């Protein structure tokens, strides 16, 4: 059974195939590729882009999506995760889970008889990476010679993007404060599929030769008790128009304007954040169509 729990669950060729399918579906509009099929969407965390893009995507592909929020099912409380997985597998054709603990999505996949897609965990956000890669390819034509600077927290979005960059040949430098870098195991995985990103604690050095600057929130959902500590640690990492210059700005959203990015930067013509947001829809449609084709 093919699952998509992180970017390197795919081979480089498979990743290219998913992106190609996404681009084709985007250019053709809605097609009934998944007629009569159902996506079960398991949510522990609130969501705007993940929920709407997956639900709309299934509709546009001719299928149907069922939202299962934390008050709707007993994921991990009242019923073991493995039991939820086995039961839902009898009802739906795909499972997508947006949860806190990465181990939960791994357990869903272990016991599921249908493809499981990671809609986000505290460790990884591989669907965002698909949208990011699709967006970069659209704006730059390819991945060759594109230099990206990640500036901020080495969080779940960064970790999946590092794997996607390694697999596609993007030149990536990750700038984080000390203690907030990408997990060493992720860097090892990136090295095994391509080139691991360069790492630094100097945001100016990372940005200097970049074509694209990518940032994300410093205080993620569930980390509110770390807010004061993080704001102090990330002093000097904010992206403003002066820092950005003529470079392209990416952000996975939602943005905490005035923290990791200024309002002026994200509202500037350099920002392609809305293209990223739109491409969540197209990238996930490409992924679901690809998973369905695996039989």
Same structural domain for residues 157 and 225?
A: yes
Same structural domain for residues 79 and 189?
A: no
Helix (H) or strand (E) holding 96: strand 94-98
Q: What is the pTM of this model?
A: 0.96
User: Residues 263-293, buried b or exposed e (16+ Cβ, 10 A)?
Assistant: eebbeeebbbbebbbbbbbbbbbbbbbbbbe
CATH number at residue 74: 3.40.50.1370
CA atoms within 13 A on the CB side of 292: 22
Token pair belonging to 236? 């000097």
Distance CA(186)–CA(170), nearest Å, equals 16
Same structural domain for residues 209 and 220?
A: yes
Same structural domain for residues 142 and 202?
A: yes
Same structural domain for residues 68 and 140?
A: no
Q: Give the number of other CB atoms < 10 A from CB of residue 27.
A: 8
| 108 belongs to a structural domain | yes
| Tally of domains in the chain | 2
pLDDT tens per residue, the chain (295 residues)? 899 999 999 999 999 999 999 999 999 876 788 999 999 999 998 899 999 999 999 999 999 999 999 888 877 677 899 999 999 999 999 999 999 999 999 999 999 999 999 999 999 999 999 999 999 999 999 999 999 999 999 999 999 999 999 999 999 999 999 999 999 999 999 999 999 999 999 999 999 999 999 999 998 766 677 788 999 999 999 999 999 999 999 999 999 999 999 999 999 999 999 999 999 999 999 999 999 999 7
Helix (H) or strand (E) holding 39: strand 38-43
CA atoms within 13 A on the CB side of 85: 20
Token pair belonging to 197? 């990103």
Same structural domain for residues 112 and 170?
A: no
Contact present, 180 and 150 (Cβ < 8 Å): no
Find the angle CA(20)-CA(174)-CA(206) to the nearest 5 degrees.
110
| 195 belongs to a structural domain | yes
Which residues span the domain enclosing 269?
128-276
Same structural domain for residues 55 and 143?
A: no
Same structural domain for residues 85 and 175?
A: no
The residues carrying an active-site annotation are 98, 125, 128, 216, 252, 280
Same structural domain for residues 255 and 171?
A: yes
Residue list for the binding site for L-ornithine? 156, 216, 220-221
Same structural domain for residues 78 and 167?
A: no
**What's 201's DSSP letter?**
S
Distance CA(184)–CA(95), nearest Å, equals 29
Residue list for the binding site for carbamoyl phosphate? 47-50, 98, 125-128, 252-253, 280
Closest by CA position to 283, among listed 168, 143, 131: 131
pLDDT at 36: 95
| 1 belongs to a structural domain | no
Q: Give the number of other CB atoms < 10 A from CB of residue 35.
A: 10
| 2 belongs to a structural domain | no
Same structural domain for residues 35 and 115?
A: yes
Token pair belonging to 125? 């956000």
Contact present, 228 and 167 (Cβ < 8 Å): no
Same structural domain for residues 259 and 135?
A: yes
Closest by CA position to 94, among listed 70, 69, 63, 120: 63
């Amino acid at each position: 059974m093919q699952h998509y729990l992180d970017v390197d669950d795919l081979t480089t060729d498979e990743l290219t195939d998913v992106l190609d399918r996404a681009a084709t579906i985007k250019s053709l509009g809605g097609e009934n590729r998944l007629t009569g099929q159902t996506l079960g969407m398991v949510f522990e965390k609130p969501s705007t882009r993940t929920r709407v893009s997956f639900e709309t995507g299934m509709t546009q592909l001719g299928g149907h999506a069922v939202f299962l929020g934390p008050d709707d099912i007993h994921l991990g409380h009242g019923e073991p995760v493995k039991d939820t997985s086995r039961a839902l597998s009898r009802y739906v054709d795909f499972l997508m889970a947006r949860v806190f603990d990465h181990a939960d999505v791994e357990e869903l996949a272990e016991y599921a008889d249908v493809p499981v897609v990671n809609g986000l965990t505290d460790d990884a956000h591989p669907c965002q990476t698909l949208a990011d890669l699709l967006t970069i390819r659209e704006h730059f034509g390819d991945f060759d010679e594109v230099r990206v600077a990640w500036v901020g927290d080495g969080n779940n979005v960064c970790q999946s993007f590092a794997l996607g960059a390694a697999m596609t040949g993007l030149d990536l430098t990750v700038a984080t404060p000390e203690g907030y870098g990408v997990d060493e195991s992720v860097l090892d995985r990136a090295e095994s599929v391509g080139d691991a990103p360069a790492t630094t604690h100097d945001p100016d050095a990372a940005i200097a030769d970049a074509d694209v600057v990518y940032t994300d929130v410093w205080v993620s959902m569930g980390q509110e008790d770390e807010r004061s500590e993080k704001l102090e640690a990330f002093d000097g990492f904010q992206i403003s128009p002066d820092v950005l210059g003529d470079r392209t700005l990416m952000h996975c959203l939602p943005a905490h304007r005035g923290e990791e990015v200024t309002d002026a930067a994200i509202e500037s013509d350099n920002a392609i954040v809305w293209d990223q947001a739109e491409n969540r829809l197209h990238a996930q449609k490409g992924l679901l169509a690809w998973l369905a084709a695996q039989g």
